[in-house]
Amino acid sequence: MSAALPDPSSAARGEGATGAPGELDLSGLNRYDETVGSAAPPFDPLRLCVFTTVALIACLLGPIAVLGFALVAIAGYARARRQGLLRSKCKLGDTRLVLAYLSALAVLAAVATPFWVMFWIGRL
């Protein structure tokens, strides 16, 4: 015994799989169609999550966080430069400029750290 297929004209009349008037047959929706191909993967805003986390750490730790991130970045760029990287994807371009920028940030953060600590000690 085979199952009877619904009458195509019943869908046009607004009858669903049960044949009740006004019920829509949506069983053919949300299925993979080989003729169309795979859709592009959705945008993953991972960078935005990373930026937000870095901002939170910087907010909580102030210049200490800036100093830490700058030192890690200086170590990374110095190593990459020793391995032959001369141009960076950074807006500054030349890795020497990037290293100078990061070094300036590290010095400023080191100078600001005692003032930041005194500010929070005075608030307690």
| Tens-level pLDDT at each residue, the chain (124 residues) | 555 555 555 555 555 556 566 777 777 777 777 777 777 777 677 777 888 888 888 888 889 999 999 999 999 999 999 998 888 888 888 889 999 999 999 999 999 999 988 888 887 6
pLDDT, residue 76, reads 92
DSSP-assigned beta bridge partners for residue 21: 15
pLDDT, residue 33, reads 72
Would 113 be classed as within a structural domain? yes
Dihedrals phi, psi of 27, to nearest 5 degrees: -70, -20
pLDDT, residue 97, reads 92
Q: Which domain holds residue 111?
A: 62-123
Would 19 be classed as within a structural domain? no
pTM recorded for the entire structure: 0.58
Would 31 be classed as within a structural domain? no
pLDDT, residue 39, reads 73
pLDDT, residue 34, reads 77
Interhelix angle 46-61/63-82, nearest 10 degrees: 130
pLDDT, residue 1, reads 52
Would 66 be classed as within a structural domain? yes
Q: Tell me, letter by letter, the H, E, C secondary structure of the chain.
A: CCCCCCCHHHHHCCECCCCCECCCCCCCCCCCCCCCCCCCCCCCCHHHHHHHHHHHHHHHHCHHHHHHHHHHHHHHHHHHHHCCCCECCCCCCEHHHHHHHHHHHHHHHHHHHHHHHHHHHHHC
pLDDT, residue 60, reads 86
pLDDT, residue 9, reads 55
Would 33 be classed as within a structural domain? no
Would 39 be classed as within a structural domain? no
How many domains does the structure of the chain reveal? 1
Would 114 be classed as within a structural domain? yes
